[in-house]
Amino acid sequence: MKLRLRHIRLRSRNFVRATAGLALAASFAACGQSAQDARGGGAPAGSGPSLVTLDGSSTVFPISEAVAEEFQKAEKSIRVTVGISGTGGGFQKFCRAEIDISDASRPISATEVEACRKAGVEYIELPVAYDGIAIAVNPKANWADKITTAELKTLWAPDAQGKVARWSQVRNGWPDREIHLFGAGVDSGTYDYFTEAINGKAKASRGDFTSSEDDNVLVQGIANDELALGFIPFAYFEGNHDKLKLVPVDDGKADNGNEPVLPSPDTIRTGTYQPLSRPVFIYVSKKASERTEVQKFVEFYVKHAEKLVREVNYVGLGDAATRWSRIASRSGPWARSSWAPTRLASRSISCWRKNAESSTQGHEYSDARMDHRAAAVFVRSAIGADNGGDHRGPRP
């Protein structure tokens, strides 16, 4: 039976304060002069209920779905739809202006940036949580007590296809039995991030594994197969911990300790679960953000995110976001600017990416520690802006 995370037992949750998102909430209030009449993004004008449309990552889906459900209780005249087509599929729709908000478990790629630019789609990029990619096996696989990143590469590298098919080929002492692999589909941001982190290049992977953009399908596959191993978002493990077993990961780096590390809210937040910790995002169409219903929804999203993300097992962005919340509530030149949300958000991500590139030797995506640093830079930038400093940054 297909599970939806919002409706299964997920009560140990720990997730989100949207750093840049709080800037957006504050700035929306200052930029609303054209909101009453402006239309744009994926929702057509009409006489029925106002509509806000989201699509994209199955990883971010539980957060957005939880927010949408609570928002519609408070705003009964606004309907919110949340789809799952994978991060890549969501960006395709977003850059065609078919949806208002794209859920993403990785940053937008250069190809997608260009597609949006050609279509005239400007956007606001908001980190909303941390997540870890968990390595999960069936509880009966008692031999799988830990795994190294080198062993994961042995399993998932492109040249492993058709060759590495048994547990014993991964490590001496593991049983000479078939290994059945499960992982995110090729349109998933989780797939992109995992292959980048493990194989050194996004989308570089063997193809002979059971894949799905729906993480619930992967959970059920691993839970029903004693010989299975797969990668799934940590939040989906938390919601199914009685069906799956986590495998600790050893990144082989002495400066991160000499022991394998299990994903947990703490190890994901601190970045010690390496290299499979990451931020996740929502992307808001700038044109759509001029509509009253989108403004209200995103303001609700960032205001209630901390509570709701905990309900779906994600990890919050940390103390920097709390500090930024106080800054965002104050008046200042940046808060009165009509372009503040886009430029401040893009500046925070620009800082995050710059730090990521310097720390990962050219890898496209980075770890949780880099996002913490970017959040601090973002707060310092906002303080400078609030005191009259230069708050302008690159547009997306």
Helix (H) or strand (E) run with residue 233 in it: strand 228-233
Locate 10 and state its tokens: 């997920």
> By residue range, what is the domain housing residue 337?
5-129+279-386
Query: Are 266 and 158 within one domain?
Result: yes
Query: Are 155 and 261 within one domain?
Result: yes
- Is residue 370 in a domain? yes
Out of 228, 257, 277, a domain closes at: 277
Query: Are 137 and 270 within one domain?
Result: yes
Locate 261 and state its tokens: 């590390």
Give the model's pLDDT for residue 318. Answer: 63
Query: Are 33 and 57 within one domain?
Result: yes
Query: Are 120 and 142 within one domain?
Result: no
Helix (H) or strand (E) run with residue 154 in it: helix 149-156
Locate 205 and state its tokens: 């992977």
Q: Per the structure, how many domains does the chain have?
A: 2
Query: Are 263 and 158 within one domain?
Result: yes
Three-state DSSP state, 249: strand
- Is residue 187 in a domain? yes
- Is residue 391 in a domain? no
Contacts of 125 (CB under 8 A, 6+ apart): 20, 107, 108, 281, 283, 345, 346, 349, 396
Contacts of 284 (CB under 8 A, 6+ apart): 24, 100, 101, 123, 124, 126, 294, 298
Query: Are 141 and 196 within one domain?
Result: yes
Give the model's pLDDT for residue 312. Answer: 87
Query: Are 287 and 248 within one domain?
Result: no
- Is residue 392 in a domain? no
Out of 258, 277, 296, a domain closes at: 277
- pLDDT one digit per residue (tens) for the chain, 396 residues: 333 333 322 222 222 333 344 344 444 433 333 333 333 455 444 445 799 999 999 999 999 999 999 999 999 999 999 999 999 999 999 999 999 999 999 999 999 999 999 999 999 998 888 899 999 999 999 999 999 999 999 999 999 999 999 999 999 999 999 999 999 999 899 999 999 999 999 999 999 999 998 899 999 999 999 999 999 999 999 989 999 999 999 999 888 878 999 999 999 988 899 999 988 899 999 999 999 999 999 999 888 887 888 888 888 776 544 443 443 333 222 222 232 333 333 333 343 334 334 333 333 433 333 333 343 333 333 323 333 333 323 333
Query: Are 122 and 29 within one domain?
Result: yes
CATH number where 294 lies:
3.40.190.10
Query: Are 173 and 199 within one domain?
Result: yes
Out of 251, 277, 303, a domain closes at: 277
